[in-house]
C-alpha cells in the first residue's frame, strides 16, 4: 500500500469526521495502519471550529460531538497544529503558505469552512450595522476579538435574516444573564449583557412564515424566553397557503407555534421581540443630529409564482439602535481553488475541480468549504464520511482491493481509475517522509508559536476546573490568556 499522508486545512467538525472515518477504516491493528498519517491545521489555537466558536452557549448538547473528536485525536497517527493559518493571512496566527505544505503530503483535504459573512448591498458595515458573526465571535471569545456591542445604550436591535443564527443572537440578547450564567459564556460577556438596555429585537425576513429558515426547535426556545414576549402577528400571516399547496411537517409546526404565541403575553414583560415578515432592507440612514437611533428603510415584499420575494413598491421606516445582518457566509477567497461564483471550492464527488474544470489528483474538500454554509452537524458528518470513503477508493484502485483490509467497507466499489477524468497537473508529492511535518511547521511548533492537541487538553481541563469553581459549564479563555497559561506550564519542545 502506498502511504496516505493527508494534510487537512481546518480543524472543525468536517475535518474531524473525515479523520475519524479514515482512522477507523484503517485501524491500528490493520497491516496498513502505519501508512496512514494525518496532519490537521487550523488558524485558531483551539480545535473544533464552529463547535467552539459558533454554537450558542446555551446549546451545550450540540457540543457532545467533541467526545468523538477527542477519540480520534488520541490516535498517534493524527497530529493537530493550531494557531497557524495556511494561505489566508489573519493577525492572530502564524502564516505558512500552502506551497510549503504540498511537497510533504500525498493527499490534501480542504475543510476550512465558510468564515466570511455575506453582507447586504444596502447595508454596508458601519457603527450602526454589524454582521451577526461579530456578535457570535464576541460572546464565544473568538481570536478575532471583535469589540463588545455597546448594549448599555441600545434599546432596539434589528436583525436582518430569519435563520437559526438570527434566533441565536436574539435569544442571547433577550435571555436574562442569570439564566445564561450556568453555561459556557465568559464572565466579561455576562457583565455586558447584565448592563444591556435592549428592550426590543426585530427579526426581519423578506419572505413569510411558510418560508422561514429557522427550525421549530429554535422558535420554541424563543417562545419560552422567561423575560420576553412575542409581538402578535397579523392573523392573515398565519393562514394556510392561498394556492392550497400542502404544508410540510416543519411548516405546520411553525404555524402552530406562531398561532399559540409566546409563553409570556405581549405587554407583560419589559423585553419584546417580533418577526417582521415580507420586509427587505433598502437602506440605512445614521442618526440625525441630537438623536441616537438610525433609520432602517424596509421595502415591502410579496412572493411571485416561483416563491421569490419581490418588492410591492411600498416602503416603511424602522427606527433602530443597531442593525445586525445575518445572511449567511462564504469561504475565504484566499482558500485554494476558491470559486467566486459559488462562494466555496468546486468539487465533484468530494474531489476538487480547478478553474479549468480538471480534477485535482488527491485533492479533496468537505463540509462547508465544499458545499457552502448550509446544513447541520448530522449532514456535515454524512458528507465527511462520504469524502473519506472517496479518499480510500482513490487510494485503493480496483486491482488492489483484494489485498487491502479496510474492515467491512468495499473501498473498491466505484473506484475512479486513471483516465476517466481529465486531471490537472499533480501538486502533491508521491515520495514523502510519512511522519515528519514540513520544516516550516516543525520550526514554528518548536518555537512555541503553534499549539497541539495536548495543549488543548490542558486548556480544556483548566477551563472546566474554573467553571466548576463558578458553578457553570466552563469559564473559557481567550487566545492570549490561553497561550499565556500554556507558556507557564508547558515543558520545552525538543
By C-alpha distance, which of 302, 397, 398, 416 is closest to 350? Answer: 416
By C-alpha distance, which of 327, 276, 321, 324 is closest to 295? Answer: 321
Lookup: cell for 247: 404544508
Distant-in-sequence, close-in-space partners of 486: CB < 8 Å, separation ≥ 6: 451, 455, 458, 459
Distant-in-sequence, close-in-space partners of 75: CB < 8 Å, separation ≥ 6: 23, 28
Rounded CA-CA distance 434/443 in Å is: 18
Calculated CA dihedral for residues 100, 105, 106, 109, nearest 10 degrees: -80
Query: Does 86 carry a binding-site annotation?
Result: yes
Enclosing H/E stretch for 164: helix 164-174
Rounded CA-CA distance 158/147 in Å is: 19
Among all chains, which residue has been given the C-alpha cell 480538471?
Answer: 358
Query: Does 136 carry a binding-site annotation?
Result: no
By C-alpha distance, which of 122, 45, 49, 50 is closest to 81? Answer: 45
Query: Does 164 carry a binding-site annotation?
Result: yes
**In contact, 139 and 172? CB cutoff 8 Å:** yes
Distant-in-sequence, close-in-space partners of 383: CB < 8 Å, separation ≥ 6: 14, 366, 367, 370, 371, 375
Q: What is residue 141's three-state secondary structure?
A: coil
Q: What is residue 268's three-state secondary structure?
A: coil
**In contact, 359 and 368? CB cutoff 8 Å:** no
Rounded CA-CA distance 157/273 in Å is: 9
Lookup: cell for 330: 462564504
Query: Does 207 carry a binding-site annotation?
Result: yes
Tell me 308's DSSP state: -
Rounded CA-CA distance 263/160 in Å is: 24
Enclosing H/E stretch for 275: strand 271-276
Query: Does 162 carry a binding-site annotation?
Result: yes
Question: DSSP of 365-426, one letter per residue?
Answer: E-THHHH-S---HHHHHHHHHHHHHHHHHHHS-GGGGGG---TT--TTTTPPPTTSSPBPPP
Rounded CA-CA distance 414/416 in Å is: 6
Lookup: cell for 354: 480547478
Query: Does 50 carry a binding-site annotation?
Result: yes
Tell me 225's DSSP state: -
Can you say which residues are annotated as belonging to the binding site for NADP(+)?
162-165, 206-207, 218
Annotated binding-site residue numbers for FAD: 14, 50, 86
Binding site as annotated, residues: 14, 50, 86, 162-165, 206-207, 218
Amino acid at each position: 500500500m502506498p502511504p496516505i499522508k493527508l494534510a487537512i486545512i481546518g480543524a472543525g467538525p468536517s475535518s474531524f469526521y473525515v479523520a475519524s472515518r479514515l482512522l477507523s477504516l484503517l485501524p491500528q491493528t490493520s497491516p496498513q495502519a502505519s501508512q496512514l498519517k494525518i496532519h490537521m491545521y487550523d488558524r485558531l489555537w483551539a480545535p473544533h471550529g464552529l463547535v467552539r466558536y459558533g454554537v450558542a452557549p446555551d446549546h451545550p448538547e450540540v457540543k457532545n460531538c467533541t467526545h468523538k473528536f477527542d477519540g480520534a485525536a488520541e490516535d498517534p497517527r493524527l497530529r493537530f497544529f493550531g494557531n497557524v493559518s495556511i494561505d489566508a493571512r489573519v493577525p492572530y496566527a502564524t502564516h505558512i503558505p500552502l506551497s510549503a505544505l504540498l511537497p510533504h503530503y500525498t493527499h490534501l483535504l480542504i475543510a476550512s469552512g465558510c468564515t466570511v459573512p455575506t453582507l447586504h448591498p444596502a447595508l454596508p458595515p458601519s457603527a450602526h450595522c454589524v454582521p451577526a458573526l461579530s456578535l457570535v465571535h464576541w460572546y464565544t471569545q473568538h481570536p478575532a476579538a471583535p469589540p463588545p456591542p455597546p448594549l448599555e445604550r441600545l434599546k432596539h436591535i434589528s436583525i436582518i435574516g430569519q435563520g437559526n443564527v438570527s434566533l441565536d443572537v436574539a435569544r442571547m440578547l433577550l435571555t436574562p444573564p442569570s439564566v445564561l450564567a450556568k453555561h459556557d459564556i465568559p464572565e466579561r460577556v455576562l457583565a455586558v449583557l447584565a448592563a444591556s438596555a435592549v428592550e426590543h429585537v426585530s427579526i426581519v425576513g423578506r419572505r413569510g412564515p411558510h418560508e422561514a429558515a429557522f427550525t421549530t426547535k429554535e422558535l420554541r426556545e424563543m417562545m419560552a424566553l422567561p423575560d420576553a414576549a412575542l409581538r402578535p402577528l397579523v392573523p392573515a400571516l398565519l393562514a394556510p397557503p392561498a394556492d392550497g399547496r400542502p404544508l410540510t411537517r416543519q411548516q405546520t409546526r411553525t404555524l402552530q407555534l406562531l398561532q399559540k404565541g409566546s409563553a409570556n403575553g405581549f405587554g407583560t414583560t419589559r423585553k419584546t421581540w417580533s418577526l417582521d415578515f415580507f420586509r427587505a432592507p433598502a437602506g440605512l440612514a445614521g442618526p440625525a443630529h441630537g438623536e441616537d437611533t438610525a433609520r432602517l428603510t424596509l421595502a415591502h415584499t410579496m412572493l411571485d409564482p416561483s416563491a421569490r420575494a419581490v418588492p410591492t413598491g411600498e416602503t416603511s421606516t424602522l427606527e433602530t439602535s443597531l442593525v445586525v445582518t445575518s445572511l449567511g457566509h462564504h469561504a475565504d477567497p484566499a482558500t485554494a481553488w476558491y470559486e467566486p461564483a459559488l462562494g466555496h471550492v468546486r468539487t465533484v464527488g468530494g474531489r476538487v475541480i480547478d478553474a479549468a474544470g480538471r480534477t485535482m489528483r488527491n485533492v479533496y474538500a468537505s463540509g462547508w468549504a465544499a458545499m457552502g454554509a448550509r446544513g447541520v452537524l448530522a449532514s456535515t458528518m454524512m458528507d465527511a464520511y462520504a469524502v473519506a470513503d472517496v479518499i480510500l477508493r482513490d487510494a485503493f484502485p480496483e486491482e488492489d482491493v483484494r489485498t487491502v483490509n479496510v474492515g467491512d467497507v468495499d473501498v473498491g466499489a466505484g473506484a475512479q481509475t486513471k483516465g476517466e477524468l481529465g486531471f490537472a497537473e499533480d501538486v502533491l508529492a508521491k515520495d514523502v517522509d510519512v511522519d515528519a511535518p514540513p520544516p516550516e511547521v516543525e520550526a514554528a511548533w518548536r518555537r512555541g508559536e503553534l499549539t497541539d492537541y495536548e495543549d488543548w487538553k490542558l486548556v480544556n481541563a483548566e477551563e472546566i476546573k474554573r467553571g466548576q469553581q463558578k458553578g457553570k459549564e466552563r469559564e473559557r479563555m481567550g487566545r492570549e490568556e490561553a497561550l499565556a497559561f500554556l507558556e507557564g506550564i508547558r515543558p520545552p519542545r525538543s
